[in-house]
Amino acid sequence: MGTEKSQPIIKLNLSKIMVKNRLPRRCIQRAFQSVKYLPTDCIQRAFLRWLNENRAHFMVPLRLTKISAKGLELHFQNYPGCLSVALSFWGSDYGLRVEVKWQGQPWDALIDFDVSPYIVPGGYKCMQCVHEKGESATLFSSSEALWQDHLFAPFQKWVNEKLAPARWLRISCFNDKSCTWAELIQNESKLSEPDRTLILMQQLKRLDDKPVYDGGPDGVTNWLLPLKSETC
């Protein structure tokens, strides 16, 4: 089992930048001077407002560590530093994911929520939902309401139901690092079970009909990190 030192974490008390349920631009600039401008309706402000209102409902506290014109980065308080939360957007798509970074490299995403808002008469809908459900896709009064339903609330549910009960984070890779993955482990019995990702890679076929991976567990390197500690 290996270990890796975490990057320094910027401590920021959210209550100090929340004023009457809004996020003034001057406070953001004071905390992060590199931020020149954030629109009042941007997703960064919306998420921080929502987090300030709902932080008591999180079983694992969150710490804001970075904010920019392209998104936010957060860490779970007292959890390994290799776990981070990224809120970002590109074009008309928005994403909220929990990432694992290991040995200085992006390793895997434990969960990834995304949404593609677009304006319709009377409000907003998610383009992905429209493709799946047609006209029955839910209509939201604002983009912020859509973000809360598709990104923020599912993320809180995942934290409370998946991350909080987990005891370990298992980080894995093929010995040549051609494939990397990670997963949460909730109990000791799971440790003795075959790795589902390894089984999947053994079952997948390449274009030449050969398996993607034809080795066994000996060809895999694993790190097992206890959660709720500053291990990595």
Do residues 124 and 146 touch, judged by C-beta distance below 8 A?
Answer: yes
Model confidence pLDDT, tens digit, residues 190-219: 888 888 888 888 888 888 888 888 888 889
Average of per-residue pLDDT values in the chain: 83
HEC string for 92-123: CEEEEEEEEEECCEEEEEEEEEEECEEEECCE
* Dihedral sign from CA coordinates of 155, 78, 28, 54: positive
Model confidence pLDDT, tens digit, residues 119-156: 999 999 999 999 999 889 999 999 999 999 999 999 99
CA end-to-end span of the chain: 11
Model confidence pLDDT, tens digit, residues 8-26: 333 344 444 443 344 445 5
Residue 139: both structure tokens together:
């209509």
Which residues of 34-186 form beta strands (DSSP E)?
62-68, 71-76, 83-90, 93-102, 105-115, 117-120, 123-126, 168-174, 180-185
Q: When comparing pLDDT for 166 and 36, which is higher?
A: 166
3-state secondary structure of 60: coil
pLDDT band at 2 (very low <50, low <70, confident <90, very high): very low
* Dihedral sign from CA coordinates of 107, 108, 113, 115: positive
Do residues 59 and 160 touch, judged by C-beta distance below 8 A?
Answer: yes
Indicate the length of the chain as a whole number: 232
Mean pLDDT on 71-98: 94
In the predicted structure, residue 87 carries a pLDDT above the cut 60: yes
Give the per-residue pLDDT at 37.
Answer: 54
* Closest C-alpha to 17, from 9, 8, 26: 26
Do residues 8 and 230 touch, judged by C-beta distance below 8 A?
Answer: no
Dihedral of CA atoms 169, 174, 180, 184 in degrees, nearest 10, equals -20
In this structure, what DSSP letter does residue 205 have? B
In the predicted structure, residue 108 carries a pLDDT above the cut 80: yes
**Cα gap 153→135, rounded to integer Å:** 23
Do residues 228 and 79 touch, judged by C-beta distance below 8 A?
Answer: yes
